[in-house]
Structures are given as C-alpha cells and as structure tokens.
Amino acid sequence: MSRPMPSLNALRAFEAVARHLSVAGAADELSVTSAAVSHQIRHLEDHLGMPVFQRNGRSLALTDAGQAGLPAIREGFALFSAAMDAIDSLGETGALSISVTPSFAAKWLLPRLSRFEARHPDIDVKVNASMQLCDFAREGIDVAIRYGAGAYPDLVAEKLIQESLIPVCSPDLLSSGPLLRAPADLKAFTLLHDDSPDNDPSCPNWEMWLRAAGVDMPDAHRGPRFNQSSLVLEAAMLGRGIALAKSTLAAADIASGRLVRPLPGHSPVGFAYYLVAPKAKLNLPKVSYFRDWLQEEITRKDHLRLGRPSVTLHARAS
C-alpha cells in the first residue's frame, strides 16, 4: 500500500523555496505570507520525518532528502501544467504561448507567423518577448526559441538554425563612403557592436572576426554598442556604420535592399537558434503543429544563401 501523499500546497511551497532558496521569495511568488510558506514546509518535513532544508542563520540549503525529491516534484508540476494544456487544446480554441528573444521575434518570427495562424486558426498565439529563459510551468509558456550553444538543463533543445556572422551596412554608406573591398578596409569605418544579452562573452565579436581575418585593428572595440541585435541592424540601415550581424536576423533586410553585404562569405559560429521546452510540453498537439511549421519555414527558399565561409571563428561553447 502506497504511503499518503503530502498536500500539493506543501509540495508547491517546497519547490518555490528550493528555487529561490528564500522563504520570502517563495511567498512573493505564491502571493501568500512567509508564515504560510514556513507552515507548509514544516508540514512536509513532518510528513517525511526528515528536514528538506538546512538552515544556517538566514540562509537556506537543500538537504540530501530535499535534493533527492526536487527533480521529480518539478517534473510532476510540469506534467500537471502540460495536462491542463492538453485539456485546453481539446476545446474549440486554444492558446500557444511562445517565449522568444525580442530580436528573433521582430526579424524572423513575426513576419512569418501569419502563415501558421492561417493554417491553425483555432490556435491563439501569445508571443512573450524576453531575453531570459522562462519558467515554463510558472509563466504558462509552452515553448521557447533561444540563441546559444544548446545547453539547457532539464529541457529538450532541438536545433533550428545554425548561425553565421556577416558584415552588413546600408547601400548609401557603401556607395558614398571609403572604398571597402577587403577586411582591412574596415579600419576606415565605424564598427557597430551587438551587446545583446544572448551574446555572452564566448560569442564571436568584431575583435575576434578581424583577428581571424588577419587584420590588426587595436581599436576594434570602439564604436556604438546596442543591447538588442535588431537595434544594431537598424543602426546599420541608418548608415551609422558596419554591423557584424547574425545572418538569420539580417536576411530579410538584405533581401529588401535595406542592407547590403560589403564583403563576400560568412563566418560560422558555434551558436544556433534552438526550440526549447520541457519534454512533457512536446507531446501537446499545438506544440507539434508549431514544431512542424518551424521546420517548413526554415527550409523555405526565402532564407539567405551564404555561400562559402570566408572567416573561420571558433566560439567557446557555454
């Protein structure tokens, strides 16, 4: 005979405290008092007959028992959330919540999303633009698209698009500015820098690109910096300088003529766009439809054809 289960409130309080390592933080998230959270933790520990947290003054740490139980409890809440989504998807209408970086949303996803909506008119799409990987269960997110090296613990990550970097600028800058025929000619131009949070320190930048191209440019770090990749492209279109752009994000502006590639070739990097989700979410019909549609869009002929690599960069995986 299986032992009685503790209350769901106690388990939810435990999971929240374990994530924050703070009773007050968990209380804020759950919209209850700290005393109520502490009561639920005591209830769980009494039920188990052992502590789940070690208390050192004001700091908390998981005990061995807490560490042993936490992964399965988190998976259980994810399964509960997925079950509710599955029930919701059986109705006449449903919602697909997508967490995506702002620049990828603006430059790639939104221009194409109407095709998904036309194919699945019963699915209402919610786009949550954020640089931070979401808490799927707490925020009600079904699937995320993230740029990185593919390391997402406890989540399934499917590679969508391998990224390359390409120099881009406005056609007016290229026609009216100094001659630009080789990487060394970049010394005469202002370089625009992508400081978006998804460009972690291991991601290739202008300094790395020029060094790999054999160009000695000590002041390559100089120039305007932007915290969104889409802003870097916008600055390039305004003639502010030369941007080292993610090819996926620049493709539409190159196709329209708003941007040009002043130098041939491209520079592959060890980063890509990934579809990221808890395993349980991938079984939802609406997520399966979205995955299939993404793959179709990626194989469409409107993608930028990059040709052969010109500069080889070695990005450190993170």
179 secondary structure, DSSP code = -
- Domain positions in the chain are 8-87, 89-161+272-298, 163-269
Look at the block and give the residue holding tokens 């869009």: 297
Does residue 24 have a pLDDT over 60? Answer: yes
Q: Which residue has better confidence, 265 or 77?
A: 77
The reply to whether 8-87 and 163-269 are identical in fold is no
Strands 267-277 and 156-168 turn out to be antiparallel
Strand 94-100 to strand 123-129: parallel, antiparallel, or no bridges (unpaired)?
parallel
- Judge whether 206 and 244 are in contact, CB under 8 Å: yes
**pLDDT tens sequence across 70-82:** 999 988 888 887 7
Fold of 89-161+272-298: D-Maltodextrin-Binding Protein; domain 2 (3.40.190)
pTM of the shown model: 0.68
86 SS3 class: helix
**Range 8-87 classified under CATH 1.10.10.10:** yes
Convert the pLDDT of each residue in 127-159 to its tens digit. 999 888 888 888 889 999 999 888 898 899 999
- How confident is the model at residue 87, as a pLDDT? 66
* Region of residue 13 (phi > 0: left; psi between -120 and 50: alpha; otherwise: beta): alpha
CATH number for 163-269 (one of 3.40.190.10, 3.40.50.150, 3.30.56.10, 3.40.50.1820): it is 3.40.190.10
DSSP-based three-state secondary structure for 121: coil
Taking CA atoms, 95 is separated from 77, 90, 155, in Å, by 19, 11, 21
